[in-house]
């Protein structure tokens, strides 16, 4: 795997373990991260790989991503609580978010701070509304899945 390039200094990031970044977190000690130490920018890797989960980010962007994930996760977890499988709920919710972002990528770990703020606002605005899948028109996916599972 070729090292990702830091978007702040244009130099290659270094592959490190969580022990270098999260000294007080033994649960992250062995996980892999790409890090640009001079810029204090980093991103985690997919489990068991060296593939970055997204783009390197500085502190403020990492914090915005954490907040965006918190609000977005409320959407798909609510769908899963309403009877949809976890994987389908996430897939549908990411499609929904992508449509709200104008069809742009909805991978939060690749977003900049401004886009994360949009995600937070979108999710807060729509948190209490029935989920409407862009691929299913006006079908309320949660109600449809519940009705299907009840009738079995």
Same domain, 130 and 74: yes
Cβ neighbour number for residue 123 with a 10 Å cutoff: 22
Count structural domains, the chain: 2
The answer, yes or no, to whether residue 16 has pLDDT greater than 90, is: yes
| Residues 117, 139 within the same domain | yes
C-alpha to C-alpha distance for 145 and 11, rounded to whole angstroms = 48
User: pLDDT tens digits for 44-86?
Assistant: 999 999 999 999 999 999 999 999 999 999 988 988 888 889 9
Residue-number span of the structural domain to which 36 is assigned:
14-56
- 147 shares its domain with 72: yes
Rg (CA), the chain: 18
The 8 Å CB, 24+ separation contacts for 147-150 are: 149/83
35: which strand partners? 14, 42
Tokens of 27: 């649960």
Do 107 and 90 form a contact (C-beta atoms < 8 A)?
A: no
Q: How far apart are CA 150 and CA 84, in angstroms?
A: 12
Residues 113 and 140 in one domain: yes
* 9, part of any domain: no
Enumerate residues 6+ apart whose C-beta is below 8 A from 83.
Answer: 142, 145, 146, 149
Looking at the structure, do residues 80 and 142 belong to the same domain, yes or no? yes
Query: Is it the case that residue 103 has pLDDT exceeding 70?
Result: yes
**Same-domain check for residues 129 and 112:** yes
Q: Which pLDDT score is estimated for 39?
A: 96
Same domain, 80 and 52: no
Global pTM reads 0.77
């Amino acid at each position: 795997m070729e090292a990702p390039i830091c978007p702040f200094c244009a130099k290659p990031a270094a592959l490190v373990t969580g022990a270098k970044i999260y000294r007080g977190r033994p649960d992250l000690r062995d996980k892999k991260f790409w890090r640009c130490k001079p810029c204090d920018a980093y991103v985690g890797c997919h489990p068991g790989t060296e593939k970055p989960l997204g783009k390197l980010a500085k502190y403020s962007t990492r914090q915005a991503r954490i907040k965006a994930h918190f609000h977005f996760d409320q959407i798909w977890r609510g769908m899963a609580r309403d009877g949809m499988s976890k994987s389908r709920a996430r897939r549908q919710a990411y499609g929904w978010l992508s449509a709200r972002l104008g069809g742009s990528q909805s991978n939060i770990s690749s977003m900049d701070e401004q886009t994360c703020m949009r995600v937070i606002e979108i999710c807060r605005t729509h948190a209490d509304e029935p989920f409407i899948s862009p691929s299913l028109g006006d079908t309320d996916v949660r109600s449809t899945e519940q009705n299907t599972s009840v009738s079995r």
